[in-house]
Copies of this chain bind each other. A is one copy, B any other.
Amino acid sequence: MLRDFPLKPQQPLETPKAINNFDGTVRYNPHIMTNGNTRAPFTFDLEARQGSARAGIFHTPHGDIPTPIFAPVGTQATVKAVTPVQLEEIGAKLVLSNTYHLYLRPGADLVAEMGGLHQFMRWPRPILTDSGGYQVFSLSEMNKIDEDGVTFKSHIDGSMHRLTPEKSIEIQEKLGADIIMAFDECAPPYERDYNERAMRRTHAWAERCLKAKQRPDQALFGIVQGGVFPDLRAQSAEFISSLGFPGHAIGGLSVGETKDEMNAMLEVVNPILPENKPRYLMGVGSPEDLINGIARGVDIFDCVLPTRLARHQAAMTRTGRVNLMNAEHARVQRPIDEACGCYTCQNFTRAYLRHLIVAKEMLAATLISIHNLWTLLQLVRDARQAIFDGTFDAFAADFLANYPKQAKVEG
């Protein structure tokens, strides 16, 4: 028999101590009950604010999520090249997994039969699943959309499948994540007509998702769409907010637009979304986008970037990326980042990591993934502390001044 989880998932989160120079912003502790079929412990304690930036705790059946938070992505029920114990050591508090992938392989029924996603992948803390919508549009070999849903061809074996709002919720209920997402349509960011249609469909589907949802131990988040069009974004934020979701996601960003456009949309959407519920910016995960998102009131992020870059020899640091394959690192006895506290930087030199890469050793991906995930998790931990300390503005300005500029959002 499998042992019980080695972790106690319900253990209370260590709350940062009260800070003397706390800047006096409102401290929320509403313990809101937000949705007819969502019961406690889905409450969001907003603990501190500085400007639009917020620090809070989202309580879930599998433990507390301190926000702002970055969620590593475990597409196929595994964060690539990293064990759950290593994730725990990195300080991950929330992991995202993909409904589209798990539905196709190994199948939602199998995951349910195995006790659900937490048990299957042995991650005892909170999990978030997306709705499958984004992957149906981006990964499937063919897809045909109508008002009811989407018919698509599997990228794995070419078999035909159909997803509807009801089907997406059914799958996500079988997977059993703590946070699940409404089925939405993500349009290319610059096509206005398409974005209007996709937004309307997303709104109709959001209502159907709410109706379809049955499990009380999952929080269903609604998704705001609208491309790069401020009026559509505002309209979508207002409509989705009106439906009473316990949390809200901002979709359709990090799909090809510029960083300025993304930031502008956040400035439209976040002031409309209710303050007392968590806000999740989907698919965003470069260090500067996290800081810019937090500064504009985002609480939750996810992205494949840290683990994907790791498999392509790139280490993330607070001053930009380091390509460890470069010959210049061959004899460098320093770690990736001397200030970094991760297992990789505490132990291994750039010379060793480069050797692993050149020798095509799998350990390279593991060690660089650990470092990259730590870098983003430590960044949100520091941002959170800075919000408590009332120093977030300076922290963000300092960070952005040292980070190389890039025009486009990278997802």
Q: How far is the CB of A12 from chain B (nearest CB, A)?
A: 24
Stretch at the interface among A105-113, A169-177, A283-291: A105-113
A-B contact pairs, 14 of them (CB 8 A): A2-B335, A2-B347, A77-B355, A78-B359, A78-B361, A80-B363, A83-B367, A101-B359, A106-B330, A106-B355, A113-B331, A113-B333, A114-B351, A120-B349
State the copy count for this chain. Answer: 2
On chain B, the residues within 8 Å of A333 by CB distance are 113-115
Q: Which residue of B lies closest to A345 (CB)?
A: B2
Does A190 sit at the interface, judged by CB under 8 A? no
> Is there an interface contact between A362 and B361, defined as CB atoms closer than 8 Å?
no
Q: Which residue of B lies closest to A106 (CB)?
A: B355
- Given A110-B331, A358-B105, are A3 and B346 also a contact pair (CB < 8 Å)? yes
Does A121 sit at the interface, judged by CB under 8 A? yes
> Is there an interface contact between B114 and A352, defined as CB atoms closer than 8 Å?
yes
- In the bound assembly, the distance between CA atoms of A366 and B331 in angstroms comes to 28
On chain B, the residues within 8 Å of A105 by CB distance are 355, 358-359
Q: How far is the CB of A195 from chain B (nearest CB, A)?
A: 33
On chain B, the residues within 8 Å of A348 by CB distance are 2, 122
Q: How many residues in A have their beta carbons less than 8 Å from beta carbons of B?
A: 45
Q: How far is the CB of A100 from chain B (nearest CB, A)?
A: 13
On chain B, the residues within 8 Å of A338 by CB distance are 1
- In the bound assembly, the distance between CA atoms of A352 and B85 in angstroms comes to 16
- Given A348-B122, A349-B120, A355-B106, are A362 and B1 also a contact pair (CB < 8 Å)? no
> Is there an interface contact between B83 and A366, defined as CB atoms closer than 8 Å?
yes
Does A268 sit at the interface, judged by CB under 8 A? no
Proximity bits, A1-13, B CB within 8 Å = 1, else 0? 1110000000000
On chain B, the residues within 8 Å of A244 by CB distance are none
Q: Which residue of B lies closest to A311 (CB)?
A: B362
Beyond A80-B361, A110-B351, 13 additional pairs, beta carbon < 8 A: A1-B334, A3-B346, A76-B356, A76-B361, A78-B356, A106-B330, A106-B355, A114-B349, A114-B352, A120-B352, A362-B362, A362-B366, A366-B366
